[in-house]
Amino acid sequence: MSRPVLLVIAHGSRDPRHAATVHALVQQVRSLRPGLRIETGFLDFNIPSVRGVLESLAAVGVRDVVALPLLLTRAFHAKADIPAVLREAPARLRIRQAEVLGPSPLLLSALDRRLYEAGLTPADKSSTGVVLASAGSTDPEAIAVIAEIAREWRHTGWCAVRPAFASASLPRTEDAVRLLRALGCERVAVAPYVLASGFLPDRIARGAAGADVLADVLGPAPEVARVLLDRYEAARAPLRAVVGA
């Protein structure tokens, strides 16, 4: 039996940088797994839509799909929007929804990568405070996860790590930058814990004006691509056991 199709589900945005980054990340995943069929669908703003991709897959005889939310936390989209869309899929499709990408040690490695690309080195860790700047959420579970990631990342050697949020929650990026200054960190860096450029990452960048270093979004980092494949394999494992794939 052939492997299930991997359907990457992105939120979508009016900002063209968002879709461009999503496609670059998916291309990175394809480079790691050339034999795997990977499709991309968007919940809003961009095409193809998730519904359209699912209908197209059913029309060509695809049976099994792993739907992977391109999200870093289990907030509203993962809990409500995406399951609702998947429930409306053609009946012939057997769909498993994979877990969101975070948290994962690989994502911490991707954050380190982006900070090093922005000019820091491993030797700077002990004297550098880092703002872990996420998009923000009204979901308490998602907020708690970001706080736990910050604590875990701190244990890898950074002077201090503080979470910040571009919307819905506090503190803001600029507040966390000031806090790290007050703690006496020699330098302050801002690491966007977001996958693609857009309105909220731009807000993070503005809040990082008082920092010494601003890293890029995670985007098509190799570590992020590896997390996608890990989530895909974990989601298809029960299906593989049932059908003997």
pLDDT in tens, 130-158: 999 999 998 999 999 999 999 999 999 99
pLDDT of residue 38: 98
C-alpha distance from residue 2 to each of 17, 60, 90, 143, 149 (Å): 33, 14, 19, 38, 36
163-175 per-position pLDDT tens digit? 999 998 899 999 9
Whole-angstrom Cα distance, residue 80 to residue 83? 6
pTM, to two decimals:
0.94
- Residues in CB range of 72: below 8 A, 6 or more apart: 100, 101, 102, 107, 134, 193, 194, 195
Reference 211, options 176, 173, 170, 177; nearest CA is: 177
Strands, E assignment, 12-86: 38-42, 64-69
